[in-house]
Structure formats: structure tokens, C-alpha cells
């Protein structure tokens, strides 16, 4: 190598070193600008869209919630007519250990019984039970306690047990669910007020003289439109007391009909205490 070439080589090496110090080294697969990609959150049915725009969604409404399924149809059980049995509490309490004081100012419901003209009578027809968690929102508990009270202290100290017993024995044979059965019972009960019917003909509770059972029967028959009721009495200490009045209706509970015999289970003279 000639001496004349040495300065040229030195200049070339210097240029190479200057170029190396000014360069950037980047790893593979690395870019200078990060691409921004919007993330898509997982959406549920209840969360709004992240791209919701009031202008684009104006006028749109959320779909209504799916309604609950209706209850299954009740089991249809055969019977021929309905019978509402009403009790005069003062007479009841003369032969039973009774709640004191009893509601003595009106006849109370003993039960509504799906019935047949001849035996056997329907009873304990299905295993459906009252759902008390929803029952009170569908049936007036105030009316139950007022017009369908538990009178006999021997029937456990529990109103729900008494009403459950009536449902199990008779309501299960009505081809209805419990709320419908009890509401129908109140509808039938309020069609006619038996005490008022009797009082309008001078048959007043608490009288010291007896009334004839035939007069009581005829008064009730006229008061419900000429249909034959059943009346029942109890004998306590050599006296006979008007105890229960039973009215018969068609299977829907809309129309009265004649009750089958026997119609008067009372002697000639009875007391209405």
C-alpha cells in the first residue's frame, strides 16, 4: 500500500463510524407507530351497546320482558252441582268448644262443596295444595277471617289449617285452582244475606220463643227466588237450634237450583239464638 492511500482509508473508516452512530436498530416485528384497535367488550342482553348513539337509536324501545307461563289447567273432576253451607255461630258454639266471642251477627261459611245428587260424594279429588306464598295476593285474607272463620278451637289453633282442610276435602273436587275456588265461594256467599232474609219476615236471632222450621224453610226458599234449600238443626239440652242453611247452585255458581232431599233436618219448633 502506498503512503498516498493512507489518508483516503482513514477518511473512509471515519465516514463508516459516523454512519453507524447515527442509525437506529429496531427489533424484528416492531413498528414505530402502534395501530389502535378498538376492543369489543362482551355484551349481555342487559348492557347497552358501546357504540350506542342517541340519534341512531331514537324512537327505539327495548322489547318487553317475556311474560311468565300460565299455570297448568286444573284437573277436571266430575260433580253435578255446588252447595254452599252456612253456619249460625251461636248455635254452633252451643255444642262445640268455640272461639269466644264468636261472630254472631252473620252466618259464616262452613264450606262450598261440589256435590252429587246421590252418593258417593266427591272428596279429596286431587293432591294440589294451596301455595300460601302467592295466595294472599289473589284472595282477600280479610274476607276469609271475617266470613269464613275457624269457630271450633279443636280444629287446631291455625286458620290456615282450617282453610287448607276445606280445600283438600272439597275444593280439590271443583275443577279449579285454590284462588279461583275461594273467590267463587265469596261470590256465591254475597249473592244473598240469609240473616236479612229471615229478619225481613220477622225471624229475629236471639228470640226467646221458637219459630217453626217450615216457616224458616219457606222464608229462605222465597228469598232465593223459589228454590228449595236445606236447613239443619242441633239439639242441645232438650232444645233444637237452627244450625246450618245449605243452598244449591249450578256448577258455575251463577244460578240457584233446588237442593235434593231431605230438605228439613229439624223438628217442628226450633230456636234461632
SS3 assignment, position 108: strand
Query: Is 147 within the bounds of a domain?
Result: yes
The pLDDT score that the predictor gives to residue 14 is 52
Based on the residue annotation, tell me whether 166 is a catalytic residue of this protein: yes
Query: Is 193 within the bounds of a domain?
Result: yes
Q: Tally the domains of the chain.
A: 1
Tell me the pLDDT band of 40, cut-offs 50, 70 and 90: very low
Which residue in 166, 177, 190, 230 is the catalytic one? 166
Task: Write the Ramachandran bin of 206: left for phi over 0, alpha for psi from -120 to 50, otherwise beta.
Answer: left
The domain in which residue 245 lies consists of 81-270
In the predicted model, what is the mean pLDDT of the chain?
82
Which residue in 45, 73, 86, 110 is the catalytic one? 110
Are 263 and 230 in contact, with CB atoms under 8 Å apart?
yes
What is the pTM (predicted TM-score) of this model?
0.73
More confident residue, 16 or 205: 205
Query: Is 180 within the bounds of a domain?
Result: yes
CATH number of the domain at 246, please.
Answer: 3.90.730.10
Which residue in 73, 121, 170, 190 is the catalytic one? 170
Query: Is 52 within the bounds of a domain?
Result: no
Query: Is 54 within the bounds of a domain?
Result: no
The grid coordinates listed for 257 are 237450583
Tell me the pLDDT band of 58, cut-offs 50, 70 and 90: low
Query: Is 179 within the bounds of a domain?
Result: yes
Query: Is 4 within the bounds of a domain?
Result: no
Among residues 213, 214, 193, 196, the alpha carbon closest in space to that of 204 is found at 196
Rounded to whole angstroms, the Cα distance separating 96 from 31 reads 98
Tell me the pLDDT band of 207, cut-offs 50, 70 and 90: confident
Q: Cα dihedral sign for 121, 119, 243, 193?
A: positive
Based on the residue annotation, tell me whether 190 is a catalytic residue of this protein: no
- CA 90-94-202 angle, to 5 degrees, is 40
The pLDDT score that the predictor gives to residue 37 is 44
Based on the residue annotation, tell me whether 110 is a catalytic residue of this protein: yes
Amino acid at each position: 500500500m502506498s503512503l498516498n492511500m493512507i489518508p483516503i482509508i482513514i477518511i473512509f473508516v471515519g465516514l463508516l463510524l459516523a454512519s453507524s452512530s447515527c442509525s437506529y436498530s429496531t427489533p424484528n416485528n416492531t413498528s414505530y407507530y402502534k395501530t389502535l384497535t378498538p376492543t369489543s367488550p362482551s355484551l349481555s342482553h342487559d348492557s347497552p351497546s358501546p357504540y350506542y348513539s342517541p340519534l341512531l337509536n331514537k324512537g327505539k324501545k327495548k322489547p318487553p320482558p317475556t311474560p311468565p307461563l300460565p299455570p297448568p289447567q286444573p284437573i277436571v273432576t266430575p260433580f253435578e252441582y255446588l252447595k254452599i253451607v252456612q253456619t249460625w255461630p251461636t248455635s254452633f258454639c252451643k255444642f262445640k268448644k268455640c272461639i269466644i266471642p264468636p261472630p254472631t251477627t252473620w252466618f259464616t261459611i262452613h264450606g262450598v262443596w261440589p256435590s252429587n245428587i246421590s252418593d258417593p260424594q266427591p272428596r279429596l279429588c286431587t293432591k294440589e295444595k294451596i301455595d300460601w306464598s302467592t295466595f294472599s295476593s289473589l284472595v282477600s285474607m280479610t274476607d276469609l277471617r271475617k266470613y269464613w272463620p275457624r269457630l271450633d278451637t279443636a280444629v287446631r289453633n291455625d286458620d290456615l289449617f282450617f282453610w287448607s282442610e276445606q280445600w283438600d276435602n272439597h275444593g280439590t273436587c271443583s275443577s279449579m285452582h285454590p284462588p279461583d275456588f275461594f273467590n267463587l265461594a265469596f261470590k256465591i256467599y254475597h249473592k244473598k244475606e240469609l240473616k236479612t232474609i229471615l229478619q225481613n219476615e220477622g225471624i229475629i236471632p236471639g228470640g226467646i220463643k221458637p219459630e217453626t222450621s217450615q216457616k224458616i224453610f219457606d222464608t229462605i226458599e222465597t228469598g232465593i227466588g223459589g228454590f228449595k234449600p236445606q236447613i239443619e238443626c242441633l239439639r242441645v239440652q232438650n232444645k233444637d237450634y237452627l244450625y246450618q242453611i245449605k243452598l244449591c247452585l249450578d256448577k258455575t255458581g251463577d244460578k240457584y237450583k233446588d237442593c235434593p232431599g231431605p230438605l228439613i233436618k229439624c223438628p217442628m219448633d226450633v230456636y234461632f239464638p
